[in-house]
């Protein structure tokens, strides 16, 4: 394991913000994961696991511990019955590369998750989702180093405790596991998922005289993402972000009704998700609440801003400090709370605060 000192973290994040890690190392194998974990444990040093840095706000003062960058690579594909394929993907693989590979091999299950930045190992952490799909529905197994038990474990989807933007990895067991591999069960020759109005409309506009292919659906998703600054595009200042900065709040049917009665147009609504805790609940787009609370695309506060393409993304306009991003986030949250009584949850992970 090559250990470096005082390595700036900003270049390792899509937001491009953050001070140095006191120590920094890369792990290219499971043995290196164990080595780094032991190194930190023996010295009583905090450990932070860094993937693609696409969901992070790193403090201006940096991280006073070991940042371990996950660099394990490799994809193995196995047939499982007539139509299923299991993709065993090392945690450091680029997620969008995996999506492309699945599309090329005509495997369904991740086509709506095209264009999400970051690593495969990052996907179970917040159960990434977009345009009607969530990674939870295709995860067969997560292999991870358990820092508590000091052993590798394999967790099935149920044991991962997935729900909307949540898993045990970012809630009850935050910081306990280092993911080394994720196995995805995809459907060879399966139909694409068409569950999201924007995607359905864009497909209709193509006037195909047949069902769309997986690649066509993924293409539409990437186009929509690009128009919202939600695709990493070289030179597009609007994608200097951590993606959506706020989660879409899940509220009771009564609160939704009250909000709808106060406004001329009712807020858009989505199903809250599966599980008994979501019964009678409604998901409202955070972007709608933010706009109704008086913020517009392109709003700036110092070097922190709201994306000019999407109200849900906070962007680094150039040389922003983490504190400026968080000040802007707090302003947005306070305004939404004052107007609707809803406290928005932040989606990115805060490091070093």
Ligand X SMILES: Cc1cc2nc3c(=O)[nH]c(=O)nc-3n(C[C@H](O)[C@H](O)[C@H](O)COP(=O)(O)OP(=O)(O)OC[C@H]3O[C@@H](n4cnc5c(N)ncnc54)[C@H](O)[C@@H]3O)c2cc1C
Active site residues: 165, 244, 347
Task: Using CB under 6 A, pick the residue from 178, 251, 306, 329 that binds ligand X.
Answer: 178
Q: In whole angstroms, what is the distance from residue 7 CA to residue 25 CA?
A: 9
* Helices and strands (H and E) in the chain: how many: 8, 20
CB-count burial class (<10 Å; 0-12, 13-18, 19+) for 119: buried
Q: Which helix (H) or strand (E) holds 204?
A: helix 197-204
Q: How far is the CB of 152 from ligand X (least distance, A)?
A: 12
Instruction: Check binding of 125 to ligand X (CB under 6 A).
Output: yes
Task: Using CB under 6 A, pick the residue from 91, 98, 108, 141 that binds ligand X.
Answer: 91
Instruction: Check binding of 182 to ligand X (CB under 6 A).
Output: no
Q: In whole angstroms, what is the distance from residue 300 CA to residue 296 CA?
A: 9
Task: Using CB under 6 A, pick the residue from 16, 53, 109, 212 that binds ligand X.
Answer: 53
Instruction: Check binding of 118 to ligand X (CB under 6 A).
Output: yes
Q: Among residues 334, 326, 121, 135, which one has the least CA distance to residue 242?
A: 326
Select the span of 98-106, 114-122, 323-331, 333-341 touching ligand X (CB under 6 A).
114-122
State which residue, 52 or 285, has the beta carbon closest to ligand X: 52
Task: Using CB under 6 A, pick the residue from 18, 52, 132, 212 that binds ligand X.
Answer: 52
* Residues 70 and 27: beta-carbon distance below 8 Å: yes
Chain centroid to Cα 226, Å, comes to: 16
Instruction: Check binding of 126 to ligand X (CB under 6 A).
Output: yes
Q: CA torsion 25→30→34→37, rounded to 10°?
A: 40
Q: In whole angstroms, what is the distance from residue 64 CA to residue 22 CA?
A: 5
State which residue, 74 or 280, has the beta carbon closest to ligand X: 74
Q: Among residues 321, 307, 233, 240, which one has the least CA distance to residue 17?
A: 321
Q: Please give the structure tokens belonging to residue 65.
A: 């511990």
Task: Using CB under 6 A, pick the residue from 110, 130, 186, 342 that binds ligand X.
Answer: 130
Instruction: Check binding of 232 to ligand X (CB under 6 A).
Output: yes
Q: How far is the CB of 135 from ligand X (least distance, A)?
A: 8
State which residue, 249 or 256, has the beta carbon closest to ligand X: 249
Q: How far is the CB of 45 from ligand X (least distance, A)?
A: 15
Buried b (16+ CB within 10 A) or exposed e, 215-236: ebbbbbbbebbbebbbbbeeee
Instruction: Check binding of 21 to ligand X (CB under 6 A).
Output: no
Q: Determine the size of the site formed for ligand X (CB under 6 A).
A: 34
Task: Using CB under 6 A, pick the residue from 20, 65, 122, 249 that binds ligand X.
Answer: 122
- Relative to beta strand 133-134, strand 129-130 is antiparallel
Select the span of 43-51, 187-195, 280-288, 302-310 touching ligand X (CB under 6 A).
43-51
Task: Using CB under 6 A, pick the residue from 17, 23, 54, 193 that binds ligand X.
Answer: 54
Q: How far is CA 181 from CA 143, 219, 308, in A?
A: 5, 27, 36
Select the span of 17-25, 113-121, 272-280, 304-312 touching ligand X (CB under 6 A).
113-121
Q: Residues in the site for ligand X, rule: CB under 6 A? A: 14, 48-56, 70, 91, 116-119, 121-123, 125-126, 128-130, 177-179, 230, 232, 239, 241-243, 349
């Amino acid at each position: 394991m090559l250990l470096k000192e005082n390595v700036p973290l900003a270049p390792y994040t899509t937001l491009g913000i953050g001070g140095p890690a006191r120590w920094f190392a890369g792990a290219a194998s499971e043995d290196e994961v164990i080595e780094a974990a032991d190194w930190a444990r023996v010295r009583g040093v905090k450990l932070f696991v860094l993937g693609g840095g696409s969901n992070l706000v790193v403090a201006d003062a940096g991280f006073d511990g070991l940042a371990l960058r996950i660099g394990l690579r490799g994809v193995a594909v196995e047939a499982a019955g007539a139509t299923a394929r299991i993709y065993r993907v090392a945690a450091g693989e680029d997620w969008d590369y995996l999506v492309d590979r699945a599309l090329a091999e005509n495997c369904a299950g991740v086509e709506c998750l095209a264009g999400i930045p970051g690593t495969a190992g990052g996907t179970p952490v917040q159960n990434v989702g977009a345009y009607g799909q969530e990674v939870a529905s295709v995860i067969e197994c997560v292999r991870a180093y358990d820092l508590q038990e000091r052993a590798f474990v394999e967790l099935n989807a149920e044991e991962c405790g997935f729900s909307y933007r949540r898993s045990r990895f970012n809630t009850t067991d935050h910081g306990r596991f280092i993911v080394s591999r994720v196995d995805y069960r995809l459907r060879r020759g399966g139909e694409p998922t068409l569950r999201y109005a924007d995607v359905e409309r864009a497909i209709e506009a193509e006037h195909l005289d047949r069902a769309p292919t997986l690649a066509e659906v993924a293409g539409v998703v990437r186009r929509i993402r690009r128009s919202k600054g939600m695709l990493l595009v070289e030179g597009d200042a609007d994608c200097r972000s951590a993606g959506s900065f706020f989660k879409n709040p899940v509220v009771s049917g009564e609160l939704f009704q009250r909000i709808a009665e106060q406004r001329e147009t009712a807020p858009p609504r989505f199903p809250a998700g599966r599980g008994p805790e979501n019964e009678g609940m409604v998901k409202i787009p955070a972007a709608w609440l933010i706009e109704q609370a008086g913020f517009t695309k392109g709003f700036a506060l110092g070097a922190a801003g709201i994306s000019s393409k999407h109200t849900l993304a906070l962007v680094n306009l150039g040389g922003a400090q983490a504190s400026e991003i968080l000040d802007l986030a707090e302003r947005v949250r306070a305004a939404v709370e004052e107007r609707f009584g809803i406290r928005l949850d932040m989606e990115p992970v805060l490091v070093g605060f």
